[in-house]
Structure 1
Amino acid sequence: MLSTFIIALREGLEAALIVGILVAYLVKSDQRSHLRALWTGVALAITASLAFGAFLSYTSAELSEKGEELFAGTTSFVAVGLVTWMVFWMKRAARGLRDELHGKAEVAVTSGALSMATLAFFAVAREGLETSLFLYTNFKTVGAFSTATLGLILGLALAVGLGYGIYNRAVKINLGKFFTYSGVALIVVAAGVLSYGIHEFQEFGILPGPDAFAWDVTSWMAKESFMAALLGGTIGFDTTTSWLQLFVWVAYLGLTISAYLSPAKVKTPLNA
Structure 2
Amino acid sequence: MPFRLVAVMLTCAAAMFCAVSHAEPEPPSGEVAWRLLDYLAVDYPSAVVDGAVVDPAEYAEMQEFSVSVRTLLTELPPTPGQTDLIVQADGLIEAIDRKALATEVAGRAHQLATDLLAAYPVPLAPTRPPDLALGASLYAENCAACHGATGLGDGPGSQGLDPAPIAFADMARARQRSLFGLYQVIGQGLDGTSMGSYAHLSSDDRWALAFYVGGFAFDTTAAEQGERLWSDRQDVRSMIPRLEDLVQTTPDALTARIGEEDATRLVAYLRRHPEAVIQSRMTLSIAREKLAQSLARYEAGDLNGARDLALAAYLDGVEPVEPILATRDRALLARIEEAMGGLRASIAAREPVSEVRAQADRIGLLFDAAERILTPQQGSRVSSFAGAFMILLREGLEALLIVVAMIAFLRKADRPDVLPYVHGGWISALAAGVLTWAAATSLITVSGASREVTEGIGSLLAAIVLISVGIWMHGKGQSQAWQAYIHEKLSSALSKRSAWFLFSLAFVVVYREVFETILFYVALWSQGAHMAILTGAAAAILTLSLIGWALLNYSKRLPLSQFFSYSAILIAGLAVVLAGKGVAALQEAGLLNIHPVSGVPRIELLGLYGSWEGLIAQTLTLAVIVIGFLMNSRRAVSRHGGA
TM-score in terms of structure 2 length: 0.23
Higher relative contact order (CA 8 A, sep 6+): 1
TM-score in terms of structure 1 length: 0.48
Greater C-alpha radius of gyration = 2
